[in-house]
Structure formats: C-alpha cells, structure tokens
Amino acid sequence: MFTRYMKKAVFPGSFDPITLGHVDIIKRALPLFDEIIIAIGINADKKYMFSLSERINYLKKTFAKESKISIDSYEGLTVNYCQKINAAFILRGLRNPADFEFEKAIAVTNRKLSGIETVFLLTSAETSFISSSIVRDIIRNGGDASTLMPEAIL
C-alpha cells in the first residue's frame, strides 16, 4: 500500500507562539518528506501564553497554502502519537549546543522506545536567535515582536 511508504514526519512542539525560526525549519524540511504534521504536544503542567486553539489557529494561518502540511495536537508521549498516525520520523530544529544536548537524550530515548528516527535541521543564521520565550517576553512587555513572527498571524 502506497501510504506505508509515504515519508511522514511529525514536527512536535509547543508553538507558543509560532516564530520565523519554526517556519524556517518546516519550509526547509518540505523537500525531505511527503507529509509533515505540525503537532502541538499538550503538557498539563506547562503554563502557556496562548491557548491551544489560538496556537492551532496561528499554525493553520501560517501554512494555509502548503498542501503537504497539516496541524494537529496530542497528549502523552510523542512516539505514541507518531505510531498512532503512522509517522516514522520526528523533525526538530537545532539552534545551538544547548539544543543539541537536550535533544540528543530525547532522540536516543525515542529511538529505543519505538524505532522512530529524529531528523535534525540546523537553523538558518538569520533565525537562530529566535525563540518563542523571547517572543513571549517582548509581547508581555508591550514590545513589537512582528519581525520574529510569520506575517500571516500579525
């Protein structure tokens, strides 16, 4: 069956909110996969600035024209979600050595648990400094974060 051989990747994250850093990684991953599911992981212990429906809405607006991209959310382990939707890859972005150290342990664990491979893309120089937490800080303090966020959601 064709769907078995489709290269499907999950890009998991909080996306609180989506930034141009995320957009850079997703756009550059498009040629590598047949389908990318941007999936918001719901963590009951985490406090978010934007509600789940706002974050989903921002993602949908940003990628409305991309037929290979869909938006979803999930609870529980990322690998369980990947298995449920038949995705063999997890996509993550790397900005710096701190990201690498953190992501390495998770990626190795995920592969051990499920055989799912994590594919890392290095961020572009222009977006490597961007993080959702900096964007939230700017917004919280009444600053202008518009140069760090996708135009579709401004």
Known catalytic membership, residue 104 = no
What is the spatial distance between Cα 141 and Cα 144, in angstroms, rounded to a whole number? 9
CB atoms near residue 56 (< 10 Å): 17
The nearest distance, CB 1 to ligand ADP, in angstroms, is 30
- Identify the three-state secondary structure at position 110: helix
Q: What does the block give as tokens for 86?
A: 């038949």
> What mask, x for binding ligand ADP by CB under 6 A, covers residues 121 to 150?
--x---xx-xxx------------------
Half-sphere exposure of 75 (CA within 13 A, CB side): 4
Site for ligand ADP in 53-112 (CB under 6 A): 92-93, 95, 99
Binding site for ligand ADP (CB under 6 A): 13-15, 19, 21-22, 24-25, 92-93, 95, 99, 123, 127-128, 130-132
Q: Which residues are catalytic?
A: 22, 46, 95, 132
